[in-house]
């Protein structure tokens, strides 16, 4: 018979919640958490469902779990072995969109709290910070929850982000930080004209090619300790009218930069501007996410020790991958770490998770909550 975490995960996956929709997931969570003493505060913004669930503790301190109920689109449904919202369990594998990212982790946290409450374990104050806008624009989700909590003076002492952090086994990797993200929309200007009369025109694509080559060749320097190096990828280029005999008057490019704390927004902006200095260029910079890192110390040690007790695994403290809502909590001064299931099928057709992973993650979460203390 499936355990509590698996049963909850099934119910969450069966609720279609493609971003920014919540699909009733957070109401379902409330039905589980209210009997455990949690009070829900809605921080809905611009059609996004945001919830803070809080249970006052018998012990000092507050630990939070942050996560999202929205999922990415399924892609071609006919390519799925099992319907994406059926939550089918076949041979110990739970299939469905959100199984790894990240309804499985939400289910494990709730199951861990339920088990501790059933055992009458004295606990710290526990929060669940849940949004339906993580897979979308992330402009009215967790950031609004953090703003609300800052205004109320109710920020947690530390937070676990339920993102699928692990590689081969649950517990083998935690994310202690993430690189930042800068995106640049570049328009290189020229002068449109007839291809038979190049002397009367200025080909914007010809202007763009060396500028973009210089951008791709930028040396970003040595990476900050513990972080991958800064990467810069030109992901889209477009130019021309579609006609074969028209010299293009502009060329557009999109640049995606994932930077480590060894670089800054101001430095990166200056280097991109310098690379484009010999041609007329309009640059639109969007600082999407700030790099962050939780230093070694009690909180990361607690998580590592809990993983060791539950699994015997020595966990890797990593900063790889993309970005997450952890950045909003870190910006508010909260120590954060990402710990969830493995991530082998996230955002893919046939997303799935082993039921055994959910049991392991529940045990780890339970140990973290039970041993959490506030340290100076």
Residue in 9, 3, 4 with CA at minimum distance from that of residue 340: 9
| Residue that is written with structure tokens 């989700």 in the block | 141
Examine the residue annotation and report whether 70 is marked as an active-site residue of this protein: yes
Helices (H), the chain: 4-13, 25-33, 103-118, 142-152, 204-216, 265-275, 298-311, 326-331, 355-371
* Dist CA 167 CA 188 (whole Å): 41
Which helix H or strand E contains 237, and what residues bound it?
Answer: strand 231-239
> Phi-psi bin for 347: left (phi > 0), alpha (psi -120 to 50), beta?
left
Check 21, 22, 70, 338 and give the catalytic one: 70
| Residue that is written with structure tokens 């003076």 in the block | 153
Per the CB < 8 A criterion, the answer to whether 293 and 176 are in contact is: yes
Per the CB < 8 A criterion, the answer to whether 325 and 141 are in contact is: yes
* Dist CA 32 CA 45 (whole Å): 24
Check 101, 133, 134, 338 and give the catalytic one: 134
Helices then strands, each counted (H, E), the chain: 9, 19
* Dist CA 330 CA 238 (whole Å): 37
Active-site residue set = 70, 134
């Amino acid at each position: 018979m499936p355990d509590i975490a698996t049963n909850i995960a099934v119910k969450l996956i069966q609720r279609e919640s493609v971003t920014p929709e919540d699909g009733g997931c957070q109401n379902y969570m409330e039905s589980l958490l209210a009997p455990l003493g949690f009070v829900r505060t809605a921080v809905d913004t611009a059609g996004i469902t945001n919830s803070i669930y809080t249970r006052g503790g018998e012990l000092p301190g507050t630990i939070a779990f942050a996560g999202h109920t929205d999922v990415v689109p399924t892609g071609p449904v006919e390519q799925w072995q099992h319907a994406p919202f059926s939550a089918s369990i076949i041979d110990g594998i739970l299939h469905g969109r959100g199984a790894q990212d990240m309804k499985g982790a939400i289910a494990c946290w709730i199951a861990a709290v339920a088990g501790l409450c059933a055992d009458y374990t004295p606990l710290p104050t526990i929060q669940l910070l849940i949004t339906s806008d993580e897979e979308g624009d992330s402009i009215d989700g967790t950031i609004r929850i953090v703003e609300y909590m800052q205004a109320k003076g109710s920020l947690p002492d530390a937070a676990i982000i339920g993102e699928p952090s692990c590689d081969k086994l649950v517990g083998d990797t935690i994310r202690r930080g993430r690189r930042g993200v800068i995106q640049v929309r570049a328009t290189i200007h020229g002068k449109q004209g007839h291809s038979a009369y190049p002397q009367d025109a200025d080909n914007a694509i010809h202007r763009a090619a060396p500028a973009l080559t210089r951008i791709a060749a930028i040396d970003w320097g040595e990476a900050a300790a513990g972080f991958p190096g800064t990467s810069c990828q030109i992901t889209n280029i477009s130019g021309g009218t579609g006609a074969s005999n028209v010299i293009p008057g502009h060329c557009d490019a999109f640049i995606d930069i994932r930077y480590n704390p060894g670089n800054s927004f101001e430095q990166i902006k200056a280097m991109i501007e310098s690379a484009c200095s010999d041609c007329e260029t309009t640059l639109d910079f969007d600082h999407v996410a700030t790099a962050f890192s939780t230093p070694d110390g009690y909180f990361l040690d607690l998580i590592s020790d809990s993983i060791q007790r539950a699994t015997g695994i020595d966990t890797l403290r990593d900063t790889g991958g993309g970005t997450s809502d952890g950045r909003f909590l870190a910006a508010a001064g909260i120590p954060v770490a990402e710990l969830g299931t493995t991530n082998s099928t996230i955002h893919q057709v046939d997303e799935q998770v082993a039921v055994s992973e959910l049991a392991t993650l529940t045990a780890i979460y339970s140990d973290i909550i039970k041993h959490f203390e506030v340290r100076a």
